[in-house]
Every structure is written in structure tokens, then in C-alpha cells.
Amino acid sequence: MTAGDRLPPQRELAEALGVDAGTVTRAYAEARRQGLIEADGRRGSFVRSRPVEGTSGKIPPFDIGMNLPPIPADGSFSRRFAQTLQEILAGPAAANRLQYQPAGGAPQDRAAGALWLSASGIEASEDNVIVTSGAQTALHAVASSILRSGEAVCTATFVYPGWSAICRRLGLRIVPLACDEHGIDPEALERACQADRIRALYLVPENDNPTTATLDPARRERIVEIARQHDLLIIEDDPYSRLASARIPLLAALAPERTWHVASLSKLVSPALRIAYLRAPLLRDALRLATDTFETTIMPPPLNVAICTRWLADGTLSTLVDEVRAECAVRQAIVSDILPAGTYRTARAGYHLWIPVGKETRTVELAHAMRTLELSVVSSDQFRVDAAAAGQAIRLSIGGSIDHTRLRRGLELLDAMLHHRGGRASPMV
């Protein structure tokens, strides 16, 4: 709809959508509060062309089910981004940064990413690291490069939907593995390799999305042992490990000869960066991946790459990660104050929760109720790759721009809906 369009009467819309009229009434009230629509007496409600005077005027957050890093109220990202961008554009290399970049990234940008990965114990150099426009681009390049239609890839029972989409597009077979609160069971991987010809294993080793599981050192070492025994390729999607205070060796550090490691900055600092570093086992692998990414996205945003390279060199990126980590701790403390212990799983330095719910819980209504308070709820069905897997859960994201007051209110509502009303939707939104 565009500015000036008339919205349908609330009762008619409720009947068309098959929902209670009160739900539509509350939705219209929330839209008016945010300055998106205006009421004109008996003429009805209309889409506004600009925010109402006296309201915040901010654009409401898009709810696309993404897991967003929290924005600290006193964070320095916006200021540092604007300042660094101005410095780059005023500097002697500005003209180069405004041109097309080499496939896989310029040497200085690959070297900066390699140095950052090396700090995590990974064997990396500018020869086997490329820069991509986010983790999804990197994962697509890896899958296209090393896997073929019909080949089998092992994953957890619940997996990041972006990876599932890549598998469907490329005709790959997903073989789900039994998991628990600590992640993939290595012995389930062993059994899968004995029963099928498995080509690769995809995993998120730290603070898994969506289950929040973290593989302990013993499981990682056993997975590497199995991968070597059965000649498996490992695709390590690692958006969160650098938020953790205690570092566990990554799969790329334990098995560098067979691990493709994807490290995104979007989940560590801000999705506005759209930068990820992809480490391949060998130079020839990196060259092939650079060609693949160039064919699909040409290059990551060059000014963003320049900013990240500078931030990696001067320590700014570490400062920004520290800010996000501190904000995660504050939000996790709010969660623990409200939700009963043992009713959810989360990582201490994470910003999403995995909450088992009963079969009677209507997750769609949960998602709607949380959306009005700027919290994102996604049903476990969106992550499920094993239709026979028992249990239902939701992933609740506590990141983004929501302030602490609204976060607390949202969690209190969720607690009431889950633990005091038998999963029934609350009329109070």
C-alpha cells in the first residue's frame, strides 16, 4: 500500500483473515502509535505519508526472523562507522576503494582477515582466505565448489535455514544426526558414515543456531577423528565463537586440511557490514571459491571491506565485539530474572534462546504477540530437517534495537503465555 490508501474496515479485515476482531483493532492501534496510519472519523484509516508529529518517527524494525546482534544503548558502532568512512573517503586510496575489487578481495583485505582468523588458532594467510559479502554467499560458494547434486551432507536435526535452502537448490541430500544439549552426537556421525556415503558435515560449533548448543573439546576431537577416517569435508559456520569468553579450538584449527571455515562479522557487530571471511584448506580451493563468488556477487561492498580492514588493524573491531558481548550479558541477566531456570537453553554470550514448548502451544500466536514488542519468535519447524524428530520449540531472539524496558515486558508476556496460561495466547498485547 502507498501513502493515502484507505485501509479496509477492521471487522471486514478480521473476517478476511479469519482472526478475532480484537486482534485487528490492536494491530491498527499499534500502527497508529508508530505513525504508520491515521484515523479520519467515519472515513476510516489511511496510510500516512510521514510519521505523526510528536512520535519517535523511527522506522519500525523489519521482522524477517533474523537473529540480530544487540545494539547497545551507548554503543559506538554508528559513530565509528561514520568517522572511519569519512577518513577513508578523504584518504589517498579513496579512488581505489570506489572501483571494482579483485575476485576474493584485495591482498591487503585478505591479509587482514587471515590475521584475524590466525588469532583464533586457524592456519590462515592471504593465499587461502577470501572476503565475501556475508556468510550466506560464502556457504553457497563452498557448497557449489566442493559438493555435487545427490551427495549426502550431515547436519544437526535442527539447522540454519539458509544452509537448508542451499542444499535444496543444489540437490544435496541432508542426513540429520541425533543431537542433545551439547550438539551433534559424534557416534551418530560414525553410524551415518557406516550406513551411507557421506560427503561432508555442516555444523555451527559454538552457540548453534537455533539450539544454542556448543560442542565441547572432546566432541570436536572425535568429529575430526571420524572425518579423517571417512574422508569427510567439514563446513564450519562460525558466526558466534568470538563472543564467547572461553575459547575452544575450532574445527579449522584441529583439521585444517579438510575444513572450510566461514567467519561472519554481521553476527558479531552489525548486519550492516555484510562481510565474512572464508578460509579454504588450500590455495587452489581459495582461487576456485573466489571465482565462484565473483560470478554470483562480483564483490562484497568495497567501502565496508575497507572499514573492516582498518578496524581489524587498529583494534576497533575488538572494541565493538566487546560492546556487543557486554550488552549480551545485560540482556541475558534480564532473561534469567524472568524466565524460570531450566525452561530454556542459551549461551552466556549469546542473544537467542531455544525454548521447548508443548504440542498445544500455538507458536504462530506467540510470534505475533512478540512481534508487537520487537522480539522475534521462530518455530522449530522452520529449522527442522528431520520430520520424525520429536518435540516442538521456539527460537527467541533478544538482540536488535529493542531497549531493556521493552525486552523485559516482552519476556514477561512470553512467561505468562508459556507458563501460566497453558500455551494459550494472551489478549494483552
Q: pLDDT digit string (tens) for 372-395?
A: 777 889 999 999 998 777 788 999
Same domain, 19 and 33: yes
Amino acid at 173: R
Which residues touch 28 (CB under 8 Å, ≥6 apart)?
7, 10, 37, 45
Q: With cut-offs at 50, 70 and 90, classify the pLDDT of residue 1.
A: low
Whether 143 maps to a domain, the answer reads yes
Flag the least confident range among 52-66, 325-339, 412-426. Answer: 52-66
Same domain, 208 and 238: yes
Q: What is the mean pLDDT of residues 225-251?
A: 96
In this prediction, residue 372 carries a pLDDT of: 75
* Position 46 pLDDT exceeds 90: no
- Of the candidates 38, 30, 24, 23, the one whose C-alpha atom is nearest the C-alpha of residue 63 is 30
* Per-residue model confidence as pLDDT tens digits over 265-303: 999 999 999 999 999 999 999 999 999 999 888 999 999
Q: Are 37 and 45 in contact (CB under 8 A)?
A: yes
Same domain, 282 and 190: yes
Same domain, 306 and 358: no
Pick the last residue of a domain from 317, 336, 371: 317
In this prediction, residue 51 carries a pLDDT of: 45
Pick the last residue of a domain from 300, 317, 334: 317
Same domain, 210 and 328: no
Whether 122 maps to a domain, the answer reads yes
Can you give the CATH number for the domain in which 54 is found?
1.10.10.10
* Per-residue model confidence as pLDDT tens digits over 61-97: 554 568 999 999 889 999 999 999 999 999 988 999 9
Same domain, 332 and 387: yes
Same domain, 171 and 284: yes
Distance CA 346, CA 330 (A): 14
Same domain, 386 and 307: no
Whether 68 maps to a domain, the answer reads no
Task: State in Å, rounded, how far the first CA of the chain is from the last one.
Answer: 25
Cα–Cα distance list, 306 to 17, 94, 312, 318 (Å): 48, 10, 10, 16
Whether 67 maps to a domain, the answer reads no
pLDDT above 70 as % of the chain: 88
* Position 14 pLDDT exceeds 60: yes
In this prediction, residue 423 carries a pLDDT of: 43
pLDDT above 90 as % of the chain: 71
Domain of residue 5: give its range.
1-60
Pick the last residue of a domain from 317, 345, 365: 317
Q: With cut-offs at 50, 70 and 90, classify the pLDDT of residue 100.
A: very high
Can you give the CATH number for the domain in which 366 is found?
3.90.1150.10
Is the pTM higher than 0.85? The answer reads: no
Same domain, 261 and 357: no
Same domain, 152 and 203: yes
Q: What is the mean pLDDT of residues 151-174?
A: 96
Q: With cut-offs at 50, 70 and 90, classify the pLDDT of residue 30.
A: low
Domains: count for the chain: 3
Same domain, 54 and 132: no
Q: With cut-offs at 50, 70 and 90, classify the pLDDT of residue 312.
A: very high
Same domain, 259 and 382: no
3 state SS for the chain: CCCCCECCCHHHHHHHHCCCHHHHHHHHHHHHHCCCEEECHHHCEEECCCCCCCCCCCCCCCCCCCCCCECCCCCCHHHHHHHHHHHHHHCCCHHHHCCCCCCCCCHHHHHHHHHHHHCCCCCCCCCCEEEECCHHHHHHHHHHHHCCCCCEEEEECECCHHHHHHHHHHCCEEEEECEECCEECHHHHHHHHHHCCEEEEEECCCCCCCCCCCCCHHHHHHHHHHHHHHCCEEEEECCCHHHCCCCCCCHHHHCCCCEEEEEECCCCCCCCCCCEEEECCCHHHHHHHHHHHHHHHCCCCHHHHHHHHHHHHHCHHHHHHHHHHHHHHHHHHHHHHHCCCCCCEECCCCCEEEEEECCCCCHHHHHHHHHCCCCEEEEHHHCECCCCCCCEEEEEECCECCCHHHHHHHHHHHHHHHHCCCCCCCCCC
In this prediction, residue 251 carries a pLDDT of: 98
Whether 376 maps to a domain, the answer reads yes
Whether 281 maps to a domain, the answer reads yes
